[in-house]
Amino acid sequence: MTDEDVDDFAREMLKTRRGIGMRPPFYAETASMKGKESWPFWIVRNSYCNSLGCFLTKDHAERVAATMNKESTLMAQMEGDLISHQEDAGEYYVLPEWALQYLPEKWRDHFQAMADDGRVILKSVDNELSQLVRVLHSFAAVVALKHVQKRLSSYKFELKMEAFLELEMLTTAFVVTYVRLHQGGSGSGFSRDSIPEKLRSIHDRVVDLRNKRFAHNDEHDSISNALEASFEDNRFELKFGLSLGYHIGGAKEWPDLVSAVESIYLERIEKLLARMKQKTGHEWALRSGPAPEE
């Protein structure tokens, strides 16, 4: 490598943007295993690792590091200008990767480097992203559970068959959704011990209600039935009596139980986002839309 090639070499290496190894600031460091002892071989690195994966002379390593720092600053300024312009316009644009070929070379290289860097970063948190998908899938059921609980709380008692059927429907939805969340799948459920101790008895009653009344035909203490038979005019008359027990509006502990379950899943999401930040050095946030209308 000649002196004239050093700056071009630094720019080309920076364009690769290979993950965390290509984040500034860069500095030259001797490759000696004895600390700061002078040695013919030097490397360019950042706080994470050897950025280039190759040996240079001391002078060349220092020039490459300086050029990479300078170019990184220019790239960051250009990216900041683009973001600022988008914010001022109140809109943003999505550019598919296949369209990069039609951009000016400087822009094309910049955005391609961003895309490549993004792939490396996403790959490094692939496990966390998979866990996040499972948690968010369960969180959709948490939202449904909250909605059912609010519907139960606003239920108005009436001595009409339609009202009893409405209560049966809402109670079934609450109990089945709650236990589905509890049992989960692929590690997405929650344990009895993860909810506050004062709510564990009501948790047990909801599980028992689901197992013995709504999911199976086992006997539950909220159901009783009787079959009466009478004989008259040489004919048997059968009369079936069914008694169903309900909490009007749901049990009083159910709102607290729902809040506890929601907190469990929110905490899991926060921990995953924090772990992803620690691994990549980038902030991670979930974009959310407006809350469902009640």
Give the strand pairing for 42-45 and 27-30: antiparallel
Over the stretch 132-157, which tens digit does the pLDDT of each residue have?
A: 888 888 888 898 999 988 888 887 77
Per the model's pLDDT, the better-predicted residue between 38 and 223 turns out to be 38
Question: In this predicted structure, which of 84-88, 256-260, 287-291 has the lowest mean pLDDT?
Answer: 84-88
Per the model's pLDDT, the better-predicted residue between 227 and 220 turns out to be 227
Distances (CA, A) of 218 to 33, 202, 222: 73, 20, 11
Residue 230 C-alpha from the chain's centroid? 62
High-pLDDT (> 70) share of the chain, %: 71
Give the pLDDT score at 251.
78
Over the stretch 90-114, which tens digit does the pLDDT of each residue have?
A: 555 666 777 777 777 777 777 777 7
Is the model's pLDDT at 248 over the cut of 70? no
Return d(Cα 187, Cα 131) in angstroms, integer: 9
Sequence ranges of the domains in the chain: 3-89, 126-280
Return d(Cα 288, Cα 294) in angstroms, integer: 17
Give the pLDDT score at 259.
92
* Mean local confidence (pLDDT), 15-19: 64
Is the model's pLDDT at 243 over the cut of 70? no
Give the pLDDT score at 199.
93
Over the stretch 171-218, which tens digit does the pLDDT of each residue have?
A: 888 888 999 899 887 668 899 999 999 999 989 988 888 887 765 555
Give the pLDDT score at 81.
55
CB 67 within 8 A of CB 7: yes
Give the pLDDT score at 94.
66
Q: Residue 16: phi, psi to the nearest 5?
A: -65, -30
* Mean local confidence (pLDDT), 57-70: 85
Question: What is the DSSP secondary-structure string of 101-141?
Answer: GGS-HHHHHHHHHHHHHHHHHHHHTHHHHHHHHHHHHHHHH
* Mean local confidence (pLDDT), 39-46: 82
Give the pLDDT score at 193.
93
Give the pLDDT score at 16.
67
Closest CA to 202 of 251, 248, 149, 142: 251
Mean pLDDT of the chain: 77
Which band of pLDDT confidence, cut at 50, 70 and 90, is reported for residue 23?
confident
Give the pLDDT score at 197.
93
Is the model's pLDDT at 222 over the cut of 60? no
Is the model's pLDDT at 277 over the cut of 80? yes
Give the pLDDT score at 160.
78
Give the pLDDT score at 284.
84
* Mean local confidence (pLDDT), 63-82: 75
Give the pLDDT score at 217.
54
Give the pLDDT score at 242.
47
Return d(Cα 96, Cα 13) in angstroms, integer: 24
